[in-house]
Amino acid sequence: MDKLRILHMYPAMLDLYGDSGNVEILSYRCRMRGIETEVIKHDLGDKDTDFSGVDIVYLGGGADFEQQLLADDLLGLKDNIRKAYENGVYFLMICGGYQLMGQYYKDSNGKKIPGLGLFDYYTVASTNKRERCIGNIVVETTLGDKKYKVIGFENHGGQTTNVKTPFGKVLAGNGNEFASSVEGYTEKNVTATYLHGPLLSKNPRLADHIISYCMTRKTGQPYKPEQINDKLEAECRKVLLERLLKK
């Protein structure tokens, strides 16, 4: 079986709250099923990154400063990234990575950082730097044909609007905007969200959903991930959901 290739974008710059752990979790859950993975890194200035030759493109979270530093580099990759997206490569994007794939990000000082324009949404930061969407969050989404509660931690001043297909419904926390009813953005091969944690450590079924999509696309045959022992994760999720959703 050919290896599953994960492209990790700007790993040294986009790693808020251990977001790089999402790549480790994907690799681990593949390894437990006998699927070999290869993690390829793209750093500032790299010119020969093969976006269409990978299965997953991953961008973690970063603060305004990091986003400004890498914005020009990212724009130079726009055509290659769009081609990969249109070819069905899976895009997993967290916080700053989520914002940069939209039309633009306007920071709290009014400076507009252009996004790749891959999607229609855009983000404007609150002008009151003390106002942030911060805290634990629970989002109900659909994976395949089943509802699933996704748990994470959000910390963002940016308010993301014009989101046509949200990742899910907010059950606790804020979401795309202050007291929003929805969070993130999704398509068949896209998960974009403000949830840190890292996201996949608290939500193993989401990791398996991504793996299943990628393996189905790669092999041309429906792929159902073999069950692995998630007893500890299930117990932790139960405690967190009871705590966060209590009335």
pLDDT tens profile 79-117:
999 999 999 999 999 999 999 999 999 988 888 999 999
Q: Tell whether the torsion through CA atoms of 95, 101, 105 and 111 is positive or negative.
A: positive
* pLDDT at position 129 over 80: no
Averaged pLDDT for residues 6-14: 94
How many Cα atoms within 13 Å fall on the side-chain side of residue 15?
12
Domain 4-244 sits in CATH at: 3.40.50.880
Is 132 part of any known ligand binding site?
yes
* pLDDT at position 163 over 80: yes
Nearest 5°: phi and psi at 91?
Answer: -110, 120
* pLDDT at position 39 over 80: yes
The token duo for 32 is 């437990």
20 Cβ neighbours under 8 A, 6+ residues apart: 8, 11, 60, 198
Q: How far is CA 81 from CA 43, 75, 118, 181, 219, in A?
A: 15, 9, 9, 30, 22
Evaluate if pTM is beyond 0.85: yes
Q: Per residue in 168-217, pLDDT tens?
A: 999 999 999 999 999 999 999 999 999 998 999 999 999 999 999 999 99
Confidence band for 55, pLDDT divided at 50, 70 and 90: very high
Residues marked as catalytic: 95, 196
